Structure 1
C-alpha cells in the first residue's frame, strides 16, 4: 500500500495480530523515536489524549510487531573509538538467502538491507577498531555466494 493511497497502513508480523495503525500511532512512534523512555503521561500531554489511550496504543503497536523494541542512541563521543561503515554486497545467482543467513551470524553487522540496482545487499557495520574491521571484511568476502563488495567507512554523521 503506498503512502499516497492512504494515511493508514497495515502492520503484519509472523505470529502477530494484524493491526491497522493510524495517524495517532504514527505520531506516537515518532515521539518514541525521539525519546524511547518518554513517560506515558508526557506522551499523552503531547498527543492530547488520555494516558490509557497511549498505554493501549503502545501495547498494541508492540504486540502487532509495528514496534520491534526500544533502544538507546549513544552520543558519538561514547563510540568515538568504534569504526562504522556501509558495505555494498553483490551476490551470485540465487544465493541471497544463504548469504543473508551467514551475514546475520556476524555480530558486527548492525543492520542488513536487501536492495535493487547493482548491489544486492547493504550492510551496516560497527567494530571496535580497524583490526576487527579488517577481520570482518575478510569474513564477509569468504562467505560462499558473495561475488563482490565495496565498503565505505563513515567518518562523521550529520
Structure 2
C-alpha cells in the first residue's frame, strides 16, 4: 500500500515523529503572531490576521484546547534576573531510568530544560545559576548525585542568541 502522507503533513510533525494537528493558513498566522507577542489583545490579533474578533477568539481557544498552544509565558532575560551563568549538561544514565531521572531533574532548582537525546549522551540539560560556584554545586550535589546518572559532561555557555520568531 502506498504512503498517502502529504508533504504538508510531513512538515508538521509533532513530538517523537507523530503527526501534529493540521493547521490551516489562518491558524498558522495566529500561532506566528502569538509567538511574536503573546500579550496582544484578541482585537489586535484579529486585525493582524485579517479575521473577525469572534473568529480570532474561537480559533485561539481551539488552538489552546487542542494543545497546539500550550501556554503564554513571559520571556525573561536570565542575566538581568540574576542567573548569569548557564551551561548544557550531557548525562549518561543507566538503561531504563530516563523517566525517573527526568522527573527528578524537573524538581531541581536551576534546571530549565531537559531533553532525551540520541548520541554520545542520553540526556541534555540546560541549567542556569547565579555564578560558577552555584553551577558547581548544582552539577555535583544535585544532578550528578541523582540515582540513575552514570556521568556528566558540562559545557559552559558564553553567550546566547535567540532567533526572531
Could you say whether these structures have the same fold, taking a TM-score greater than 0.5 normalized by the shorter chain as the test?
A: yes
Q: In structure 2, what is the Cα distance between the partners aligned to 1:24 and 1:7?
A: 19
Task: Go from structure 1 to structure 2 and tell me whether the alpha carbon gap of 1:3 and 1:80 turns closer, same or farther (over 3 Å shift).
Answer: farther
Give, in angstroms, the shift of residue 127 of structure 1: 1.4
- 2:153 corresponds to: 150
Give, in angstroms, the shift of residue 112 of structure 1: 0.9
Alignment of 1:122-141 (within 5 A): 122-138=124-140, 139-141=142-144
- 1:29 corresponds to: 31
Task: Go from structure 1 to structure 2 and tell me whether the alpha carbon gap of 1:108 and 1:21 turns closer, same or farther (over 3 Å shift).
Answer: same
- 1:42 corresponds to: 44
Q: In structure 1, what is the Cα distance between the partners aligned to 2:126 and 2:14?
A: 25
Task: Go from structure 1 to structure 2 and tell me whether the alpha carbon gap of 1:142 and 1:7 turns closer, same or farther (over 3 Å shift).
Answer: closer
**Greater strand percent: which structure?**
1
Name the Cα RMSD after superposition: 2.6
TM-score normalised to structure 2 length: 0.79
Structure 2 residue runs without a partner (length 5+) = none
Give, in angstroms, the shift of residue 131 of structure 1: 2.4
TM-score normalised to structure 1 length: 0.82
- Does the Cα contact within 8 Å between 1:11 and 1:21 map onto a contact in 2? no
Q: Stretches of 4+ moved more than 4 A in 1?
A: 7-12
Structure 1 residue runs without a partner (length 5+) = 13-17
Give the 3-state SS of the residue equivalent to 1:73 in structure 2: coil
Give, in angstroms, the shift of residue 152 of structure 1: 1.3
- Does the Cα contact within 8 Å between 2:144 and 2:151 map onto a contact in 1? yes
